[in-house]
Structure 1
Amino acid sequence: MRRHGVATINPVAKVAASLLIALTLALSVDAASALTALALELAVLPFAGLRWGAFWRRTAAVWIAAPLAGITVALYGRASGHVYLDWLFVHVTDGSLRLAAITAVRVLAIALPAVVLFATVDATEFADGLAQLLRLPARFVLGALAALRLVGLMRDDWQALELARRARGVADRGRVRRLPGLAFALFVLSIRRGSALATAMEARGFGGDGPRTWARPSRFGGREVLLILVGAALAATAVVVAVATGQWVFIAS
């Protein structure tokens, strides 16, 4: 499948850009910066290399989590202003409703760029960037990459275990009751596969102390710098608008 747009940019730059936005928005709780950031993000996200169907599938959890977070804040947030509901620990007031709306928008503004950018990240390219560009320990990076590659196999192993038990006639009923047994079998199988993988990697020199060579060089060029600048400009614009409108409230104050 051919990739285009932001999908072809080095994953390290994607992480840096999303962190810039998230850390900046986490410094304040105000409506102006969150709304500004969200509006700008929605304007540039179509260039992230995701089709609309994939975009809605990948971000579905964010669109669900944002209103849920807002509802929680509305019910249990700081009470101020007119009281609409006061029952035990639930206090719905003007202040809690306003804070709930800000929280929902802020969750969207922080999570959407992170999810969209990470949706186009290849694990191997990300590992190459961490080791070659950020100079993280190669053994740690390669070990984490190998573990991540095995996550997908766990689902296949679980299905294979279920089919094997069903073939023996021990999985027709009591699905909940047999979950601990399946989980333990999967745990044992994972340990065996991990031990075999560790031995294979050690035999191929992945645990050596000498300098490593890399089959895929990780490059950081103009497009990566441009993406980080776009993230920084987006975050800075949100702060400037919040300060100009007098709504910037530093979270520590």
Structure 2
Amino acid sequence: MIPSVPPPRGPIAAANPAAKLAAALVIAFPLVFTIDSVSAAVALALEIPLLLAAGLTGRQFWMRTLPVWIAAPLAGVTIALYGQAEGTVYVEWLFVRITDGSLALAVATVFRVLAIALPGIALFATADPTDLADALSQRVRLPARFVLGALGGMRLIGLLVDDWRELEVARRARGVADTGRARRLLGMAFALVVLAIRRGSTLATSMEARGFGAPVERTWARTSPWGGREWALIAAGALISGIAVAAAVATGSWNFILGPS
């Protein structure tokens, strides 16, 4: 018997997915236009209560954000080795030049990646795809045809894993491509694409037959609630961005990347 997974609990876990999306965008927007340690570090510190209220357990948080924790230091190392050469030179060899400027830029890059990526992952980890589709259609007013088509495609992603396993077992049973790993992978990938296209065509036909693409205003089985919790979440994101920008400007570290060099 497969143990049931308890639903995520937290002040933000049940918030409208559109509000989670808006909060993540509001936090990330100013950080996209600057590379400095102050704004990114302040934003990251202020995001901690938001991450704790997202409704994820410690294991879920670390497992879902693991790629970010790997990518951020790697980006920092790359910037440190090949970034802007400025100030004291510590190491210089061929194309590698580690200086004060490259190290400062590397630290800012690590904080920036974490501050932008972590809120989006933590907030959307508790968003149900159907609730997200309802929110995008009812609150953001995106075209229902596009939203429902994307939702149907997301629901089929899990089937690709099962198809891959079935293809692997079937090809082994026939003795096809037992030698040559690259050839076997390419053949299975092509077969998987064919299966995905066929299943997508069938899904599109069935949805069209049920009136999902009708050119009329559609009704919804579930409403997408919006209230004070959603406005508070967006306000918290705006407050985090405002404080981070103000701290960077006050300390003189604001570095507008689209400004004149």
TM-score by length of 1: 0.96
Give the alignment partner of residue 4 of structure 1, picking from 9, 19, 24.
9
The answer to whether the Cα contact below 8 Å between 1:66 and 1:103 also exists between their aligned partners in 2 is yes
| Superposed displacement of residue 3, structure 1 | 3.2
Which structure 2 residues correspond to residues 173-252 of structure 1 after superposition, within 5 A? 173-252=179-258
Give the alignment partner of residue 93 of structure 1, picking from 93, 99, 119.
99
Question: What residue number does 2:176 align with?
Answer: 170
| Superposed displacement of residue 83, structure 1 | 1.1
In 2, Cα distance between the equivalents of 1:205 and 1:44? 40
The answer to whether the Cα contact below 8 Å between 2:177 and 2:183 also exists between their aligned partners in 1 is no
The answer to whether the Cα contact below 8 Å between 1:162 and 1:171 also exists between their aligned partners in 2 is no
| Superposed displacement of residue 13, structure 1 | 0.4
Which structure 2 residues correspond to residues 45-56 of structure 1 after superposition, within 5 A? 45-56=51-62
In 2, Cα distance between the equivalents of 1:110 and 1:196? 38
Question: What residue number does 1:15 align with?
Answer: 21
What are the superposed Cα offsets for residues 146-199 of structure 1, whole Å, 9 maximum, x if unpaired?
A: 111111111110111101111223354433221111111111111111111111
What are the superposed Cα offsets for residues 34-83 of structure 1, whole Å, 9 maximum, x if unpaired?
A: 11111111233111100000000001011101101101111111101111
The answer to whether the Cα contact below 8 Å between 2:8 and 2:56 also exists between their aligned partners in 1 is no
| Superposed displacement of residue 86, structure 1 | 2.2
The answer to whether the Cα contact below 8 Å between 2:13 and 2:53 also exists between their aligned partners in 1 is no
**Identity rate of aligned residues, in percent?**
62
Deviating runs (4+, > 4 A) in structure 1? none
Question: What residue number does 1:139 align with?
Answer: 145
In 1, Cα distance between the equivalents of 2:96 and 2:26? 35
Secondary structure of the 1:86 match is strand
- Aligned pair count reads 253
Mean alpha-carbon deviation: is it higher for 40-49 or for 139-148? Answer: 40-49
In 2, Cα distance between the equivalents of 1:104 and 1:139? 39
Alignment gaps of 5+ in structure 2: 1-5
In 2, Cα distance between the equivalents of 1:171 and 1:159? 15
Query: What amino acid does structure 1 have at the position aligned with 2:181?
Result: R
Give the alignment partner of residue 110 of structure 1, picking from 113, 116, 121.
116
| Superposed displacement of residue 227, structure 1 | 0.5
Alignment gaps of 5+ in structure 1: none
Question: What residue number does 2:136 align with?
Answer: 130
Aligned-residue RMSD, C-alpha = 1.3
